[in-house]
């Protein structure tokens, strides 16, 4: 079953050229894949269409059986519960503890406090930050902050996780740890779509790779093809 489908999607920003041009692809439930391409190729735009911070100019983005064109108003927040997002710049609240930052999506959806505490502890353990639950983001390293961002993105058990250059500022060891964490998510049914311009990293992972060039999807490489 596909969790996400792009059907001939184009996106033109006001006054600009096509950032995406007639892009079509499917993501299966529990699949992990990468989208790569040079700076300006359209990777971030593609992710923004999925979590509805942008809208397509033409074509359809379909999530499960939901055409995202029809998702408006209050339904946007409901849609975002099902899509976890990891930003390159973390976007953590500086005056809140690690645990509070991770709890935020669950508080917003009105979950009971006791359940929130349990979930937050479990997910912080998963990203190896159980001991830093009470720290402020400014007291953490870049890699630790990134892991808090990931914990916040997965705490709500989304159907799809999208990550924009999640290892951009990290050393190779930390990048590998984060990729190992992402690789474990499909086992729980979460699909994972990672935008990265780091070709060495993408090749190492041996997953499906979508290649964008000036907004066009120019290649869709299967793991088998990558291995050759
Ligand atoms: N808000 C915007 N308004 C106008 N043009 C934009 C906007 N956001 C992106 N663009 C343009 O759309 C194109 C695709 O940008 P996008 O950020 O999606 O690329 P990218 O592959 O993520 O690049 P990078 O790796 O540098 O982040 C670029 O030409 C960019 O200048």
Ligand 1 pocket, 228 CB below 6 A? no
In sequence order, the β-bridge partners of residue 208 are: 33
Going by alpha carbons, the residue nearest to atom 7 of ligand 1 is 13
Distance CA 205, CA 183 (A): 9
Minimum CA distance residue for ligand 1 atom 18: 42
Which residue is closest in CA terms to ligand 1's atom 17?
44
Write down the H helix ranges in the chain. Answer: 43-50, 74-81, 98-108, 113-126, 142-154, 172-184, 199-205, 223-227
Distance, CA of 123 to CA of 106 (rounded, Å): 12
Q: Which domains are seen in the chain, by residue range?
A: 2-82+159-227 (3.40.50.300), 93-157 (no CATH)
Q: How far is the CA of 124 from the centre of ligand 1 (A)?
A: 32
Closest to 91 (Cα-Cα) out of 133, 157, 181, 153: 153
Using the structure block, give the residue that is written with the tokens 């500086």: 94
Ligand 1 in contact with 48 (CB < 6 A)?
Answer: no
pLDDT at 164: 94
Which pLDDT does position 177 carry in this prediction? 85
- Bridge-partner residues for 25, per DSSP? 6
Q: How far is the CA of 41 from the centre of ligand 1 (A)?
A: 7
Distance (Å) from CA 46 to ligand 1 centroid: 10
Averaged pLDDT, groups of 10, the chain, 228 residues long: 95 92 96 95 96 95 94 92 87 95 93 94 93 96 91 94 88 86 89 93 93 97 83
Residue ID of nearest Cα to ligand 1 atom 30: 40
pLDDT for position 9: 98
Output the residue whose Cα is nearest ligand 1's atom 2: 13
Question: How high is the pLDDT of residue 183?
Answer: 93
Q: Residue holding tokens 């093809």?
A: 225
**Which pLDDT score, from 0 to 100, does residue 1 have?**
76
What is the pLDDT, as a whole number, of residue 98? 97
Q: ipTM of this complex > 0.90? A: yes
Give this prediction's pTM: 0.93
Can you give the length of the chain in residues? 228
The best mutation among 45, 166, 211, 216 to test binding of ligand 1, ranked by most ligand atoms within 8 Å of the C-beta, falls on 45
Q: What is the pLDDT of residue 4?
A: 98
Q: How many CB atoms lie within 10 A of CB 29?
A: 15
- For the chain, first and last CA: distance in Å? 27
Which atom of ligand 1 is closest in space to residue 44's alpha carbon? 22
Calpha distance 73→57 (Å, rounded): 19
Q: Does 40 sit in the ligand 1 pocket, CB within 6 Å?
A: yes
């Amino acid at each position: 079953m596909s969790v996400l489908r792009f059907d001939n999607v184009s996106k033109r920003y006001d006054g600009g050229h096509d950032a995406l041009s007639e892009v079509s692809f499917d993501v299966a439930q529990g699949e992990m894949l990468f989208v790569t391409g040079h700076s300006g190729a359209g990777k971030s735009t593609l992710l923004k269409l999925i979590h509805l911070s942008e809208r397509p100019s033409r074509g359809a983005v379909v999530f499960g059986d939901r055409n995202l064109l029809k998702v408006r108003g209050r339904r946007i927040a409901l849609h975002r519960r099902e899509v976890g997002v990891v930003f390159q710049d973390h976007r953590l609240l500086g005056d809140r503890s690690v645990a509070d930052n991770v709890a935020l999506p669950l508080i917003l959806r009105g979950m009971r406090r006791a359940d929130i505490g349990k979930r937050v502890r479990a997910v912080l353990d998963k990203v190896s930050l159980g001991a830093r639950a009470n720290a402020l983001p400014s007291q953490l390293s870049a890699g630790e902050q990134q892991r808090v961002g990931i914990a916040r993105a997965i705490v709500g058990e989304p159907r799809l996780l999208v990550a924009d250059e999640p290892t951009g500022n990290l050393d190779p060891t930390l990048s590998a740890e984060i990729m190992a964490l992402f690789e474990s998510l499909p086992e729980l049914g979460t699909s994972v779509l990672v935008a990265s311009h780091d070709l060495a990293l993408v090749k190492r992972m041996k997953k499906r790779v979508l290649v964008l060039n000036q907004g066009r999807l120019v290649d869709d490489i299967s793991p088998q093809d990558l291995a050759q």
